[in-house]
A and B are shown apart, each in its own frame.
Chain A
């Protein structure tokens, strides 16, 4: 479905995407993870066949987007990071005109629009100007709009940012079902739980490069330990304590507010800390997550 080889995007001298390679197969759901400015949206725009690459090779649905942009885009659904509706038009009209851009017939759209309004829980807001929708409602409208042409590849750039938890979970469920229909998903997100839930495979990007690739489970296995012990000694004492416990576990990660100790057995490490005569204010043993992979690879926590 998507093949990228040495895919590069430069803005003047600045390299936003720096020669990345990846492949996405039909029916797969593929994730792009990375801190702000990593180049996720830029990569998404190149896949969406709008942004022109400045280097490398890219094939979408068997075609080169530089030569067959419109033919490729006809079969893509794109949910932009930034909502871009005509605020003066009503909710239903925005779905309708977008469908018209694909050349869909009025009769087809008449039905489709109502269905998508229902899906996005916007039926009540059908005749309201988009300017008057809440942020989350606009987001839902953008997602619904991306489905109007029943795309083969659905591209979602931070789809759930601004959605309430219930809407997020229902969206995940919907995306699962679309996947079952054979729709290929490409997703960026800042929510690790979302990535773990939705993505079969993902790449972690930083500064335009791919840091790691694999399934969520494989990445956790490769870049983190089974368990993580989180201990807090109070912000003043953390650095000091970190030095004292540096030899414990597989690896430690001192953060400003807490210390993470990676090991196969968190409880055991905690006991060792007590033996050293140290008393953490709080301690917590949990399973490793993508969050830890991310921290290991980029040196950054996600919530920044």
Chain B
């Protein structure tokens, strides 16, 4: 502490509370982006490294094998990489988006308890939830665009498919991030929550969502994983929009509604849980 003279006008002179109320979620997003910028190097490196490695090994290697064996009566109807691309993109989007809702939530409630600092300002629980979702969406879009760029470079998808595929993937990413935000808000202790999510949620979701083969070729008792998985909804939507895979119109609607619904549900649950934990 020093004797520095502090300039002092008083909060009622320097604040514009109604305006701050409107922008509140953005202030939280701004903080999240600042925190993310500390990891920018890693975000770019993994964001580029992952698709490159993946496409080199799985995509091109296995793709060549599949494309050569299935020959003329290829049940997929398009090159394997083209078939795979929407699923890879959706998975990458989900991973990036949920990183930015789960970690911040653990941090805010448990690691450094910074949510308790935020809630002491004019911010409300719903502003924190909103801000995290905004920042997560930005990070998700960033990674998805990088991934899409690599897919184009590898010839997996034409440039014209990028907008629709990116849209479907980001939609999936944000909606699952919303769900994970809600789930994480219930975590009371940091005991390997992440390992559990990785093993029992992410991996099965990636494997059984019609990623590597059409969902219908899975036995019916495993297909449910796909139905509740945003990866499948985004992938099926993306395949339809990018290369014209035939999907019933009602099912297309289901894809959009499902992702929208889990996003809204996740945010509502998260907001309630945030509010109750932060007002204990």
Which residues from chain A sit less than 8 Å from chain B, CB to CB? 11, 48, 50-52, 69-71, 73-76, 78, 80, 82, 84-89, 93, 97-98, 100-104, 108, 111-112, 115-116, 118-121, 140, 143, 145, 147, 149-152, 163, 167, 170-171, 173-174, 178, 181-182
Q: A51-B279, A87-B112, A178-B8 are in contact. List 13 more A-B contacts (CB 8 A).
A: A50-B120, A73-B121, A74-B17, A80-B117, A89-B38, A97-B34, A98-B117, A100-B27, A100-B31, A118-B4, A120-B1, A145-B117, A152-B11
B114 contacts A50, C-beta separation under 8 Å: no
Whether B123 sits at the interface, judged by CB under 8 Å, is yes
Is the beta-carbon distance between B17 and A48 smaller than 8 angstroms?
no
In the complex, whether B203 has a CB less than 8 A from a CB of chain A is no
Q: Which residues of A contact B28 (CB under 8 A)?
A: 101
> Contact at B2–A170, with CB atoms within 8 Å?
yes
Q: Which residue of A lies closest to B14 (CB)?
A: A150
A101 CA to B124 CA in the complex, in Å? 10
Q: In the assembly, what is the distance between CA of A100 and CA of B127, in Å?
A: 13
Residues of B within 8 A of A145 (CB): 117
Chain A residue with minimal CB distance to B115?
A: A84
Identity of the chain A residue whose Cβ is nearest the Cβ of B16 in the assembled complex = A103
Q: Are B20 and A102 in contact (CB under 8 A)?
A: yes
Contact in complex: B112, A86 (CB < 8 Å)? yes
Q: Which residues of B contact A151 (CB under 8 A)?
A: 11
Give B138 Cβ to nearest chain A Cβ, in Å: 17
What separation, in Å, do the CA atoms of A11 and B279 have in the docked complex?
12
- Assess whether A50 is in contact with B4, with CB atoms less than 8 Å apart: no
A101 to B150 CA separation, bound complex (whole angstroms): 38
**Minimum CB distance partner of A100 in chain B:** B27
Interface contact B15-A50, CB-CB below 8 Å: no
Chain A residue with the shortest CB-CB distance to B123: A101
4 closest A-B pairs by CB: A103-B20, A170-B1, A101-B121, A74-B122
Q: How far is the CB of A45 from chain B (nearest CB, A)?
A: 9
B192 interface residue, CB < 8 Å from A? no
For B21, the closest partner residue in chain A by CB is A70
Q: CB-nearest residue of chain B relative to A149? A: B11
Decide: B17 and A115 in contact? CB cutoff 8 A. Answer: no
Question: Which one of B13, B23, B34, B278 lies within 8 Å of A103 (CB-CB)?
Answer: B23
Residue contact B114 to A85, C-beta cutoff 8 Å: yes
In the docked arrangement, what's the CA distance between A75 and B19, Å? 15
Once the chains bind, are A70 and B279 in contact (CB under 8 Å)? no
A292 CA / B35 CA spacing, docked (Å)? 49
| A102 CA / B118 CA spacing, docked (Å) | 9
Residues in A neighbouring B34, C-beta threshold 8 A: 89, 93, 97
Cα A80 to Cα B17 in complex, Å, equals: 23
Using Cβ atoms and an 8 Å threshold, which residues of chain A touch B116? 50, 80, 84
* CB neighbours of B23 from chain A (8 A): 103
If A70-B122, A119-B4 touch, does A86 touch B14 (CB 8 Å cutoff)?
no
State whether A115 touches B123 (Cβ < 8 A): no
Looking at the assembled complex, report how far the CB atom of B81 sits from the nearest CB atom of chain A, in whole angstroms. Answer: 38
* Docked complex Cα distance between A33 and B70 (Å): 80
- A14 CB to closest chain B CB, in angstroms? 12
| A147-B6 in contact given A73-B121, A73-B122, A119-B1 (Cβ < 8 Å) | yes
Residue of B whose beta carbon sits closest to that of A75: B11
- Is the beta-carbon distance between A52 and B279 smaller than 8 angstroms? yes
Asked if B160 is at the interface (CB within 8 A of a chain A CB), the reply is no
When chains A and B are docked, how far (Å) is the Cα of A173 from the Cα of B1? 10
* Closest residue on chain B to residue A82 by CB atoms: B113
Are A152 and B12 in contact (CB-based, < 8 A)? Answer: yes
